[in-house]
Amino acid sequence: MRRRSCWKISPELLVVPDAGLAYVPIFGDGIHGRNPNPGHRLCIIDLEKRAHVGDIDLRPFIAPHTLRLAPDGMIYITCENSAVVAVIDRSTHKVVDAIDSGSTNGHRLVISPDGERLYTENEEDGTVSVIDLPRRKLLGKIKTPRPLAGIAISADGRTVVAVDDAQPSLFLIDTADGRITREVRLEGVPKAAQIARYAPDNSLLCVTSLNSDTVSLIDPSVRQQTAIKVGSQPMDMAFRGDELFVACQGPCTSSIFQSDSQSIASVLVWAANRLAFSNGLVDQRPPLARISSEGPMKLPRRKRSRCWRRPGCGSAEHIAWHIGGTCRIQGLFPTMG
């Protein structure tokens, strides 16, 4: 894949396996709250060709971030600086509508399984917007005690989880009543969390804490939970069977997409007390290699050159995960044709 001029900050990814496509929003040059040159493109990736094959121009809407495929077949994406959720028709790859989100801090969104409701978490506002999806209308906002950093919805659509950006806590929202019913403290997590995701079968709620380097595994009843140390700065997650894929954005850890190295990068896997290495297309491909989680692994001397991100460690051909300064090989990059 050749580097294209559109690549700036790509914080999210939507994979549509049936279509063989992935969609990557170009947020801009920065991060939420510090994005001086907001983007306006949604890049289209052909997964079979492993190529950037086109763009969807979202203008006049800017700073696209989280996107989801809804039961109605449309793609819905937050354009936070424009305070809208843009609606994209996949058959034409055109913007066909825009829904008022009620906030220029609407960063992430979730859609109810029945396609009736869409929720955005409005970071600094400390609110969750509720949108009637069939009518494409903002119904109102649910106030939270503190600013937010993430959002998830249970597989039965009954609970929305809003992640507290100030404290290591979660706000549980009853979607029928439209109000917070409970605040849950994350055990063993010293700092505020970031991303929350339910397992597809609703058997587990997982929450990453970027600043604590942890993933919390929580029973859906929220009666039991445990925090597990992972790589540096864990962010988003994906499930495949009983495996949980955790993408870490810190030095010498993994990421979902790495355009500079011309590859779909890999993600760190935690599952059943083992570590695994797998291609980022978790819905389509099996792990490429597995290693034991017990003890460090050393690189052969002939392979020592430069680590993927940190000079003086490992090989340019592998992804390294650092624990206490020790490099553990996770596998080789898949090449991009």
CA 46 to chain centre: 20
Q: What is the pLDDT of residue 221?
A: 87
| pLDDT tens per residue, range 7-57 | 456 677 888 988 999 999 987 775 666 666 778 899 999 998 988 999 999
| pLDDT tens per residue, range 129-176 | 999 999 999 999 999 999 999 999 998 999 999 999 999 999 999 999
Q: Is residue 292 over pLDDT 90?
A: no
User: Which range (29-33, 188-192, 206-210, 304-308) has the least confidence?
Assistant: 304-308
More confident residue, 9 or 88: 88
Q: Give the C-alpha separation, 313 to 333, whole Å.
A: 16
Contact between residue 43 and residue 52 where contact means Cβ atoms under 8 Å apart: yes
Contact between residue 26 and residue 79 where contact means Cβ atoms under 8 Å apart: no
Q: Give the C-alpha separation, 315 to 306, whole Å.
A: 5
Helix (H, G, I), strand (E, B) or coil at 230: coil
* Domain 1-110 belongs in CATH node 2.130.10.10: yes
pTM for this predicted structure? 0.74
Structure tokens at 223: 């009666």
Q: Which residues contact 10 (CB under 8 A, 6 or more apart)?
A: 24, 25, 26, 27, 43, 257, 259
- DSSP lists the bridge partners of residue 55 as 43
Tell me the CA end-to-end span of the chain in Å, nearest whole number: 7
Q: Which of 92, 109, 90, 85 is nearest to 15 (CA)?
A: 90
| pLDDT tens per residue, range 230-278 | 878 888 888 777 777 787 777 644 433 222 322 222 333 332 222 222 2
Q: Give the C-alpha separation, 88 to 58, whole Å.
A: 9
Domain boundaries, the chain: 1-110, 230-337
Q: What is the pLDDT of residue 202?
A: 85
Q: Which of 176, 172, 145, 161 is nearest to 208 (CA)?
A: 161
